[in-house]
Amino acid sequence: MKEFKMNIIVSFVIFLAVILILVFISINNKEEILKLNDIKVEQKSMQNIKQSEGVKITVLKEGNGEVVKSGDIVSVNYTGRLITGTVFDSNIDPEFGHVDPLIFVIGEGRVIEGWEIGIVGMKTGEKRVLEIAPEFAYGENEIGPIPSNSTLIFEVELLKIGQ
């Protein structure tokens, strides 16, 4: 009888040990899965943000088709803001007096350098936010409502590549 009780106790202890091991493994697996999910989310959000030479690029909407390169004629809609959020120009808001798409050649210097950097690589239909450091915008120059040494934020949509 004593041996029978001992066997029951040993069996119960082994059973509890197995349960505890399984619970521990399950908790560790859940933590690993959560860590992997966090890494995937971070990688997904980082793929839509690029930083290059004083221009931070955030892709709001992916485009498709060919990719803008230097020498291409592009047609864009845009809204420009100061870092404070104040809109200083837009070709989609009639308040600014021009509602036609802006058409220019990449690399000819008709737009600020930050645009040249930020628009190259876009695809038709793509929307980006370009955060442009002063040295790639107007620098120390005060231009209309834009104070000197201003970081500028542009929301740009690529409508078309070519004429």
Q: What are the residue numbers of the active site?
A: 78, 88-89, 112, 138, 154
Tokens of 115: 């645009």
Nearby residues of 69 by Cβ (< 8 Å), 6 or more positions away: 106, 120
What single-letter DSSP state applies at residue 139? Answer: T
Left, alpha or beta for 23 (phi > 0: left; psi -120 to 50: alpha)?
A: alpha
Closest CA to 78 of 58, 62, 98, 63: 98
Q: Do 157 and 127 meet the contact criterion of CB atoms below 8 Å apart?
A: yes
Closest CA to 99 of 91, 90, 107: 91
